[in-house]
Chain A
Amino acid sequence: MTPPVVVEASGLKRSFHAVEAVKDISFSIKEGECYGFLGPNGAGKTTTMRMVYCRIASSGGILKVLGMDAGQNADEIKGRIGVMAQETALDPELDVRENLLQYSLYFGMTFPQACQRADTLLDFVNMKGKEGAEIRELSGGMKRRIMLARAMVNRPRLLILDEPTTGLDPQARLAVWDQLFALKKDGVTILLTTHYMEEAERLCDRVAVMHHGRILCEGSPAELVSKHVEPQVLEISQAAAGADRAAETLTQNSMRCETRGGVSLYYCADSTTLLSILNRAGTLPGQHLARPSNLEDVFLKLTGSDLAE
């Protein structure tokens, strides 16, 4: 039996005046799945998310969330999902516990229920002992954890996270990931956007790459890698001694070559072949890295490495 569909969009569009932010996209997210939108800034990810959590209406197409029409049943959908968006900051006039308490009240809980929920969630995000802290005293990572807790007040089965870890240091990012893994294990469906490829590879069962308001491709990270890029890549820093001499040999022998961020990337079926060719020619630069291709290679191939804006 296939799990039920939690979010279903077909032909979804949204324009702001003359600008088409989202142009005719279709996707569906199954229960228990973690689904990620990847894309450069301005790709239409956030607009898509805002339509899913019923913050803005669509300009066309069909959008069903938890089986309900997003345009008709916005209030009911809002009551049953959890949202952690970039613009919905914590309430700076309230302390940590009051933020959770007050948000629980917005979801219709009674006062004692809301108190209990706030305490449970403080525990979940490891913020016990910080109940009375002012929001401005918190680090970025703590704020993000409280925002995640706040998105969970109504025990949502669908959680929508718009760039959950942007701007966090590695430790704080890992802490957020831990919590997301715990929720995923619990069967919560997660829809997220990110521009961290590693995040998408670790957390998402399926990702969609968005660019200029369209979905360019969709699939599991492994599927996308095998479908869109060569299996392996040899990276050589342009600053490395002998990089120029190696470049000639490699361009002839690799399947595709790209330069970005001061590094030349030679895509190939098997990097050991390339390395042995270089060794034979005696032109192997000291600084090199042979690695399997990853989602970032897919992303940059499909969306281009130029700045989107």
Chain B
Amino acid sequence: MKKAVSLPSFGKMAWRIVHRNYLAWKKYALASSVLNFGEPVLELLAFGYGLGTYIYLGRDMNYLVYLAPGLLAAFAMTSASWDMAFCVHERSHTSGVYEAMISAPVRPEDIAGGEILWEGFRSALFGSVFLVMLALLGLVHSPLALLAPILLFTTGLIFGPPAMVVALTAKTSEQMFFYFTLCLTPMFFFSGVYFPTTGLPPVAQMVVEILPLSHVIRMMRLLLSGVPCDLLVEAAWILGWLSLSLLLPVRWLRKNLTC
């Protein structure tokens, strides 16, 4: 039953998995949304309106305007990662949801595709709500912001698959915190959400340049605040990470489900 191709499928069956996740999500949509928005809003208040008043970035840039796109991009990353990791862990290790799917004619590549698409939509939806909040606060300065949902969707697609692999390989849900604490949190702090990466030591800068979040943030800053960046280079990095991410989950899912 081994197949050489290990890419997620985004066909009809994947969309049916998306439908399943929608049915499951709509039951607790309100509660999960409030929890989801709590953190970025707090960060915006504490760092933007609090600490930000002491920070001077020059006459052309308000710190809040600098911070907002970074928070939005990082929000898409963390929200997709947490949701993916905990849902997949539950469905693969505890509740037997994947086991039941695989007994029906659903393939591991359909499950992976469905879960990834769902995280994409989720990031786009939640991110867009946060974006509207930012706009209402007067922190969006470019009409290009209308394209932000596409970038949010892509961000979900980049960060969903690694979280899925983490969930599939972690024996207990506690083990997943290694990924969050050692990978996501440092990326969140040093990829240019709060301060430009140019302030980092050269080696750290190199690492941050390789990791995906810094590129998503620069792209987001272009869309929301009109801060110019090397569009082609950033897009290439983002697409590169997207391709790499999509290569990951199917083989792990097959291994987890032993098929």
Contact = CB atoms under 8 A, between A and B. Distances in A.
A102 B22 CA distance: 11
Contacts of B1: 57, 71, 74
Which of A79, A91, A92, A93 has most chain B Cβ within 10 Å?
Answer: A93
Given A91-B100, A93-B24, A56 B95 contact: no
B203 interface: no
A24 to B, nearest CB: 22
B87 to A, nearest CB: 9
A107 B12 CA distance: 11
Please report whether the interface of chain A is mostly helix, strand, loop or mixed according to DSSP: loop
B138 interface: no
Nearest to B104: A106
Contacts of A89: 95-96, 99-100
A106 B258 contact: no
Interface string B221-259: 000000000000000000000000000000000000011
Contacts, number: 62
A78 interface: yes
Interface string B64-81: 000000000000000000
Given A94-B20, A94-B24, A102-B19, A107 B259 contact: no
B259 A55 contact: yes
A193 to B, nearest CB: 15
A71 B1 CA distance: 7
B106 interface: yes
Interface in A46-96: 53, 55-57, 71, 74-75, 78-79, 83, 85, 87-94
Interface string B101-126: 11111110000000000000000000
B204 interface: no
12 contacts: A56-B258, A78-B104, A87-B96, A88-B100, A88-B103, A89-B96, A92-B97, A93-B27, A93-B95, A102-B16, A106-B13, A107-B104
Nearest to A153: B104
Contacts of A74: 1
B132 interface: no
A102 B20 contact: yes
Interface in A92-109: 92-94, 98, 102-103, 105-108
B105 A107 contact: yes
Interface of B: 1, 13, 16, 19-20, 23-24, 27, 95-97, 99-107, 258-259
Contacts of A55: 102-103, 259
Contacts of B106: 106
A83 B107 CA distance: 16
Q: Could you say which interface size class chain A belongs to?
A: 20 to 34
Interface of A: 53, 55-57, 71, 74-75, 78-79, 83, 85, 87-94, 98, 102-103, 105-108
A106 B16 contact: yes
Nearest to A109: B16
B95 A75 contact: no
B27 to A, nearest CB: 8
Contact of B95 (A57, A91, A98, A103): A91
Given A57-B1, A106-B13, A85 B103 contact: yes
Contacts of A75: 105, 107
A87 B23 contact: no
Given A56-B258, A74-B1, A94-B20, A106 B101 contact: yes
A56 B95 CA distance: 20
A78 B103 contact: yes
* Nearest 8 A/B pairs, CB to CB: A93-B24, A106-B104, A88-B100, A89-B96, A79-B105, A78-B105, A105-B16, A83-B103
A59 to B, nearest CB: 13
A74 B20 CA distance: 23
Nearest to B102: A55
A81 to B, nearest CB: 9
Nearest to A85: B103
Nearest to B20: A102
Contacts of A98: 23
Given A88-B103, A93-B95, A102 B259 contact: no
A301 to B, nearest CB: 35
